[in-house]
Structure 1
Amino acid sequence: MQSGSLTSMAGDVSERVSSLTRVIAVASGKGGVGKTNIVANMAMALSRAGKRVLVLDADLGLGNLDVLLGLVPEHTIEHVLAGTHCLDDVIVDGPGGIRVLPASSGVPQLTSLSESQQMMLMEQLEALSRDVDVLLIDTGAGISPNVTFFASAAQDTIVVVSPEPTSLTDAYALIKVLTRQYRERRFKVLVNMAKSPREAAEVFRKIDTAADRFLHVVLEYVGYIPQDDYVPLAVMRQKALLELFPASPAAQALTRLAGQVLQWPEPNFPKSAVQLLWQRLLQTTAVM
């Protein structure tokens, strides 16, 4: 697409849109860092704050957000991409007023969407956008094409890391791919399962130092979620932490994170053609 066309498209969006559906991707370099749990509870906290929240389980071949929340969907995104159902048929109501677009489990062909499947998904999301304030995308772990596609399409990307060295290494790899292949320059970093504020700050310092030195990108520290024995209890009971143990340290930290998200400034126009397309497709239609 020519740069002149992009400029024209951006002008068209600015004239027609008074507010945008905020699109936030939550990603991690490796599994096991609590990313999906963070997404589920942050969604509930945002809903409690009065936002209309849709969660897209974008781990399209190994989705487990529905399992985490004790949901039993009849259909999944696999049926949408196959053309047998629309999103309204698939989306299920979750706890606390959130809505969930569940992924399939054990369907390897969905781990790398074709361009036509990506476009189909975006077009159907557009129809829902006027009823959504925040779209949270729970990406898969790692650096697969789906992960990087959804992360680059979002207005904000939160990279979740834990104090484990492998988590830091893999998170750096994810940031590296998004920087070099998609020209992303800014990332938000959330440290999960930290034993103390000091440990969390040290984890961020390590990845920030490496990213600044070798990738020349800006990392923003958005805080940490403490290690909390109530988290596995909620997972075992297939309930959101905020629902079962709202006074627990991790639940309170997640509520504060949601409050911080509400204070983020409105996103500027996207830095890439992919992001511009998503903004156009996920806009709240103010003028018809």
Structure 2
Amino acid sequence: MASFDFDQAEGLRRMLAGPKPRIVTFLSATPADDRGAMLVNLGASLAQAGNDVLIADACEREYGVAQRLGVDGGASLLQVAQQECALNEVITPVPQGFSVVKLARGPRGKGAARPAGPDDIRRLANTFDVMVKQAGIVMVDGEFSPDNGFPLPVMASSEIVVQVSTSATSITNAYALIKRLSQQFGRRPFGILVTGATEAEAKVVYDNMASAATRYLAVTLTSMGSVPADEYLHRAARLGRAVVDAFPLAGASVAFRQLAGRFALPKVPSFGQGSSAHFGT
């Protein structure tokens, strides 16, 4: 009877807590502009499908999505954690249909504001936890630092997707990144998203990476799909719009809508369940 009462209480706590926020951390082995284009267009595709999307820019060394969209000049989430401003002052809606927040303002920002120590990191993590409960899907534009760490612990426990292209350099860098991640956080699955590639090219990249990761790292990779190279991506960017909005029939638009359909699910299909590829047509 005591066990039944405990189960009831635990179930009630879970119901009152509400659904667990969906957090996906994106890391990239592609040029910063390719990563930014992917995040903006995937975020716009998810928003267009009716999802409440927040992109958290956790980049300090690299060109992040907030800078790409020109919303990196204001206050950051760290300043909310330090009680210098309110949460609604740092979340910026953008015309593409989603919102953006900068985690902290690093050297690229005006008046650099970075976590100064463990207390700042703890306060920032708590503020991030409060923030993500207000969004449906949180996409983190992330970096894995040279000292093998993330700005926030939650990034390590979130779903992690690595973006890679068909170039030998990108593939090598992506594999090295996965190796570092697995050495730091132990055996766990990682998603692979191939951009700038045909379906056939992406399948070759994924199959080769998945085979090597299984054989040499005992790590399972999952295909998240692919996005083809498409001139309409660049045209949409010059217009300051997402390709799914400006050119809805473009090949990249079709691919991003398919990706959005997968990321919008409560759990990524087969995430951590195997290494079979799933590519859209």
When normalised by structure 2's length, the TM-score is 0.78
Tell whether 2:114 aligns with 1:118: no
Q: Deviations over 1:59-81 (max 9, x none)?
A: 13444313433547532346446
> Hey, what does 1:166 align to over in structure 2?
169
> Hey, what does 1:241 align to over in structure 2?
243
> Hey, what does 1:145 align to over in structure 2?
149
Cα shift at 1:54: 1.1
- 1:21 aligned partner, one-letter code: P
CA distance in 2, matches of 1:53, 1:187: 21
- 2:39 aligned partner, one-letter code: V
| SS of match in other structure, 1:66 | helix
| Structure 1 unaligned spans of 5+ | 1-9, 268-288
Cα shift at 1:210: 1.1
- Higher RCO (CA-CA < 8 Å; seq separation 6+): 1
> Hey, what does 2:189 align to over in structure 1?
186
Worse-superposed segment, 248-257 or 236-245 = 236-245
| SS of match in other structure, 2:190 | strand
| SS of match in other structure, 2:240 | coil
Q: Is the 8 A contact 1:61 1:111 kept in 2?
A: no
CA distance in 2, matches of 1:113, 1:170: 30
Cα shift at 1:161: 0.4
> Hey, what does 2:262 align to over in structure 1?
260
Cα shift at 1:15: 6.4
Worse-superposed segment, 111-120 or 240-249 = 111-120
Give the number of the structure whose alpha-carbon radius of gyration is greater: 2
Worse-superposed segment, 50-59 or 31-40 = 31-40
Change (3 A) 1:57 1:113: farther
Change (3 A) 1:31 1:48: same
Cα shift at 1:239: 2.7
Cα shift at 1:16: 4.7
> Hey, what does 1:35 align to over in structure 2?
35
Tell whether 2:62 aligns with 1:59: no
Q: Is the 8 A contact 1:91 1:99 kept in 2?
A: yes
Change (3 A) 1:74 1:169: same
| SS of match in other structure, 1:59 | coil
Worse-superposed segment, 127-136 or 197-206 = 127-136
Tell whether 2:205 aligns with 1:203: yes
> Hey, what does 2:84 align to over in structure 1?
84
Worse-superposed segment, 46-55 or 231-240 = 231-240
When you count helix as a share of all residues, which structure comes out higher? 1
> Hey, what does 2:7 align to over in structure 1?
none
CA distance in 1, matches of 2:132, 2:208: 38
Change (3 A) 1:189 1:114: farther
When normalised by structure 1's length, the TM-score is 0.76
CA distance in 2, matches of 1:266, 1:165: 27
| SS of match in other structure, 1:201 | helix
Q: Is the 8 A contact 2:25 2:140 kept in 1?
A: yes
> Hey, what does 2:44 align to over in structure 1?
44
In the alignment of these two chains, the number of paired residues is 256
Q: Deviations over 1:141-167 (max 9, x none)?
A: 77552379564131x111110001111
Change (3 A) 1:198 1:112: farther
What is the identity percentage for the equivalent residue pairs of Structure 1 and Structure 2? Answer: 25
